[in-house]
Amino acid sequence: MKFTMIFDKKFFKFILVGTINTIVGSTIMFSLYNLAHLSYWISSACNYFFGSILSFFLNKYFTFTIKEWSLFMVVAFILNTVICYFIAYGLAKPLINYFLQSKPQNIRENIALFMGMCLFTGLNYLGQRFVVFNRSKNEKNLT
């Protein structure tokens, strides 16, 4: 896979959409965790539930300029989001707990939420770019 294939115009559009999603999603996530005192998993899941709906439409139409609809695309987007979420947040929490054992739980979990957000973004871009909104895959799977 070529470096220029990953870091092209679509990548920068994805970053712009991601910035909008990050503002919306992290406001939801950190507010639920720190103000509503909901758990790590509920707070982060709400972020990705609401943010993913916004992300799907912005990335479909703006980033990857896909006008067609297919069941494959919707299912692949949902699976990509769920898989990336569990990998990112499933890795972030134990890693931060291991390296920051002596810090209070709320500090560790806030840092883990941030780390999970970063991991999710990278994994999610790859999945959306090369699976979900891949024109050749979608053309084969139009319903």
Burial-class residue 52 by CB neighbours within 10 Å (0-12, 13-18, 19+).
Answer: buried
Higher pLDDT, residue 93 or 10: 93
**Does the structure show a pLDDT above 60 at 142?**
no
CA–CA dist 8, 115 (Å, integer):
25
**pLDDT on residue 43:** 95
**How crowded is residue 5: how many other Cβ atoms within 10 Å of its Cβ?**
11
Residue spans of the domains in the chain: they are: 3-140
Where helices occur in 1-143 by DSSP H, the ranges are 3-6, 9-34, 40-58, 71-99, 105-127, 135-140
| pLDDT tens digits, one per residue of 19-37 | 998 899 999 999 999 999 9
| pLDDT tens digits, one per residue of 74-114 | 999 999 999 999 999 999 999 999 999 999 999 999 999 99
On average, the pLDDT of the chain sits at 89
Amino acid at 117: M
> Is residue 17 within 8 Å of residue 59, measured between CB atoms?
yes
CA–CA dist 64, 55 (Å, integer):
12
Question: Which pLDDT band holds residue 139 (cuts at 50, 70, 90)?
Answer: low
